[in-house]
Amino acid sequence: MTERLGSVFIENVQPELDAGRYAIKRVAGESLTVRADIFKEGHDVLVAVARWRQVTPAAQKTDWAEVPLTFKNNDAWEGSIPLANNGRYEFTIEAWPDLFRTWAHELKRKVDAGRDVKSELLEGAALLEGAAARAKGKAAEDHRVLAEAGARLRTPPTPDHLLVALSPDLADAASRHPDRSLARKYDKVLEVFADREKARNAAWYEFFPRSAKRDGKTHGTFKDAQGWLPYVQKLGFDTVYLPPIHPIGRTARKGRNNSLRAEPGDVGSPWAIGAAEGGHKAVHPELGTLADFRAFVDAAKAHGIEVALDLAFQCSPDHPYVKEHPEWFQHRPDGTIKTAENPPKRYEDIVNFDWMGPARDALWKELKSVVLHWVDNGVRTFRVDNPHTKPMQFWHWLIREVQDLHPDVLFLSEAFTRPKVMKALGKVGFTQSYTYFTWRLFKDELRSYLEEITSPPVSDYFRGNLWPNTPDILPENLQNAGPGAFRLRVALAATLSSVWGMYSGYELCEGRPVPGKEEYLDSEKYQLVAWDWDRPGNISEWIGKLNAVRKAHPALQQYQGLRFFESDNDRVIFYGKRSPDGLSTVLVAVSLDPYAHQEALLHVPMQWLGVNAEETYQVHELMADQRSLWQGPDVQVRLTPEQPAAIWAVYRYRRTEHAFDYFE
């Protein structure tokens, strides 16, 4: 017997990433809005559902469930899948004709046209009897109602037959027990990964624990680094990112300022991982022990801070892997091991794995065990060094393997590379990514770039973590610049995206470059640094205020939904965000001029705010803690290098039972 196939078409399913090869990203507690074009020949009434289930972690795996899709217009349907828990979900679309409603709709048209409908009533009876049979044993009341109505339609017709046949309640009962042998399923099962909240909302602070003594001479320890935590907490950061904490190789160790020759006492680059003391699962002895690291993680947690660890899959020539597993590395024709290169740069202190070589299965398994080792020691966030220089297949495999076991693990991609490569890393699973924000300075380029990465389809898989600086990058706009430059760039980073970070020294306006390069002079990558938290000209208080504002206003904790608005000055950028429930709305204006004051006429988006042109509404400028009443669409603002950003929480008045109140 030939299988019956429904003739329903299901197409243009959204969101769908690269024909379903990769998972869409969301956050636990959100819902996934699913859209599709669904239609069929003729005039049948259709029913459509989104089918979904959670598949990882295994302990939270669920059976398939369904949510209805609603017809919108022009054959477009839409519905929402709840993503209550952190983990991986599957979803697809299924649709079928509602036979009884279609019959009832046609019956009424025939009756209105004066047609004899005796035969049609018998057809309806058969449909009801089929629905009753499907309801039997599942819904007793529906079974009774459907069976009785079917029997009624088989008796000699009376005017009451039409009342029975066209009863909305009867149609509802029949629809609850459809003939789904005529259903058509979408030909793909798609995936969505629901991250935990920190994937979308976090503020990162990077520092080197070996400089924790802050004298530039004495190697710090994890115990010393614990002394930084109250300071980081005061600045308002909730994630501390540590560069590699492993033993550092001695062969070809780099000296100060990336010198090819290390002097006695030079500490080397922590990215040259591995020595006689151990490799990627070991701790640099001068930092302390593994127990000391776990104590640091616990201390950070007590301060409301999560520890992110650098994941740099590369080795010093002294790494134990080099002797134990030479087959894991690339070799030259003369048999010598290949050091890492990015011409004209050469990294003499680093050797790379042979990622796709004959020993790849064992290599990949070992590197997965490295990640799980640090997960077992309290790490749930990894900043991944140069992932664009490793195969995409590896990351797709590794991230999935780790998150299937530990869905709360997050991965930040450090890939300042070609746009499509950066996006591909997001697609294969990276939770967040560094961005080109570091080099976007002007109004139009900031707007176009941020609109691109915070809106679908890019935002379905790519979350931009905005950093104004890193240990590797001192951008030209911050070189030998005054505090105004540092204030405005951090204001943009902290408000344009819901995830942002900075490398220590930024709050001190550290901007001394290697001449002609985007690199720090006396870089901490190669030496200990003396940090004076109270250095004159620091902007620590400004940064602390920014992070406090972010924490207090849910609108700034949203990644999607960034909207840009008009200002009449090209050196003032104006934008806003709103929380999904509409209870938090924030407007932001930032001067892009670090040296002089700028004035602008802002065109307030009245319709977006839901405010009438004649309505008075209250705004609270959060950085200066000043309240004002606004009316109408035009507002004048003056920004200075000392106060380059204004952030307004918007409040509308509403009438209550006895008086007026306002809500954000």
Which residue ranges are tagged as binding site for alpha-maltose 1-phosphate?
254, 314, 349, 386, 525-526
Nearest Cα to Cα of residue 589 among 578, 601, 606, 579: 601
* Residues 163-200 pLDDT 10s: 989 999 999 999 999 999 999 999 999 999 999 999 99
Tokens coding 29: 């507690």
Checking if the pLDDT of 150 tops 80, the result is yes
Report the alpha-carbon distance of residue 100 to residue 106 in Å, rounded: 10
Tokens coding 60: 């939270």
Predicted confidence band of residue 345 (pLDDT cuts 50, 70, 90): confident
- Report the first-to-last Cα separation within the chain, whole angstroms: 63
Checking if the pLDDT of 1 tops 70, the result is no
Predicted confidence band of residue 157 (pLDDT cuts 50, 70, 90): confident
Q: What is the pLDDT of residue 3?
A: 43
* Residues 488-515 pLDDT 10s: 999 999 999 999 999 999 999 999 999 9
Which residue ranges are tagged as binding site?
254, 314, 349, 386, 525-526
Predicted confidence band of residue 62 (pLDDT cuts 50, 70, 90): very high
Mean pLDDT across 94-106: 94
* Residues 248-283 pLDDT 10s: 999 999 999 999 999 999 999 999 999 999 999 999
* Residues 379-401 pLDDT 10s: 999 999 999 999 999 999 999 99
Mean pLDDT across 34-40: 97
Number of alpha carbons in the 13 Å side-chain half-sphere of residue 417: 18
Q: What is the pTM of this model?
A: 0.94
Question: Across-strand partners of 193?
Answer: 25, 88
Checking if the pLDDT of 44 tops 70, the result is yes
Nearest Cα to Cα of residue 194 among 54, 13, 92: 54
Mean residue pLDDT of the chain comes to: 94
Mean pLDDT across 231-235: 98
CA angle 191, 193, 199 (to 5 degrees): 155
Active site residues: 385, 414
Look up residue 119 and give its amino acid: S
Checking if the pLDDT of 339 tops 90, the result is no
Percent of the chain with pLDDT strictly greater than 70: 97
Q: What is the pLDDT of residue 654?
A: 52
> How many other CB atoms are there within 10 angstroms of residue 52's CB atom?
23
589 to each of 443, 496, 574, 643, how far by Cα in Å? 11, 11, 4, 11
Q: What is the pLDDT of residue 332?
A: 87
Number of alpha carbons in the 13 Å side-chain half-sphere of residue 73: 0
Report the alpha-carbon distance of residue 568 to residue 94 in Å, rounded: 50
Q: What is the pLDDT of residue 160?
A: 87
